[in-house]
Amino acid sequence: MPEPSRDAPLAPNSRQLMKDLAPYREPNIARSLFELCVTLVPFLLIWFVIWVAVREGYWIGLLLAVPAAGFLVRLFLIQHDCGHGAFFRHRPSNDWVGRVLGVLTLTPYDYWRHSHALHHATSGNLDHRGIGDIDTLTVDEFQARSPWRRRLYRLYRHPLVMFGIGPAYLFLLRHRLPMGLMRDGWRPWVSAMATNVAIALLIAAVIWLVGVGPFLLVHLPITLIAASIGVWLFYVQHQFEETFWDHDADWSFHDAALHGSSHYDLPVVLRWFTANIGVHHVHHLSSRIPYYRLPEVLRDRPELKDVGRLTLLESLRSVRLVLWDRKKRRLVSFKEALGAA
């Protein structure tokens, strides 16, 4: 018999906690504009410096691609907050800033916002997988697959695919079409196609100014590094040993948010570049909290610091966890799952 999904008191606690977090949802307009400026301006400046360095010695400039990618990730996370209506008070402000940033991050804002909302609404639900999440099979599902489909899942879960080929495919190719929402009317198509046109115009303008070779030498490494970092962050926020998965009958939004999302406790510098997205359990409970207010929540509610806490070193070990074991109620490795078969 499977173990109980959670102890009974957890659900009312997580529900009450969501109500208690409501006061933190108010954004500060001056702070939001400041956060946008200290992210966008350094990104553009570093991009220019790398371009200048290309003519003097490419490898020197290439080193700067890492901090540039960090700022691009931060721009994506500002876009992410806009998608939740958390960065500004009014929806049009959030939406238009998000759409503009979507051109830089290669992510159609309105399409992504919709698919990401589905992720928040169904995270940890075994009966609603496939939109905006990392494909995760249960041990039973994996064992029931044919040898060929098992190999495909192993390939998908391989670190070189998950954090190398996969992110490049996602941001360079997959986001060019509203994948997963292609039959949901015209809105996802308008979002994707309008973003594609804006990206094409911006690239054409930059190439006209600097040339196609320098553009690719500067921007492609930045984009690929940022894409891998972004996918890693999304991965580790839900793919950790003591995460939460359940079928509809036992699934709870509040428990899935609090216990199915990690507190990725990063060093201060990395916390800044990742816009506190590591406080993901709080974010899933109350997605309207601006990222710069999430540390306030941990300060005022210290009991949340250890919920789903994951250090940088511990997160590296999570890569081997690939299957959900319904009996043990945790993610396990291929070796552990097949050894128990």
Lowest mean pLDDT among 9-18, 29-38, 188-197, 235-244: 9-18
Mean pLDDT, rounded, for 108-113: 96
CB-based contacts of 284, cutoff 8 Å, min separation 6: 120, 123, 256, 257, 258, 260, 261
pLDDT at 5: 44
Mean pLDDT, rounded, for 302-311: 93
Mean pLDDT, rounded, for 188-192: 94
Average pLDDT over all residues of the chain: 92
d(CA 113, CA 93) in angstroms, rounded, equals 15
pLDDT at 9: 36
Mean pLDDT, rounded, for 294-323: 94
Q: Give the model confidence (pLDDT) of 250-281 as tens digits.
A: 999 989 999 999 999 999 999 999 999 999 99
Nearest to 122 by CA among 298, 310, 256: 256
> Which residue, chain included where needed, has tokens 């929806």?
91
pLDDT at 132: 76
Is pLDDT larger for residue 13 or for residue 340? 13
Nearest to 207 by CA among 195, 199, 215: 215
d(CA 50, CA 217) in angstroms, rounded, equals 9
Residue 66 reports pLDDT greater than 70 = yes
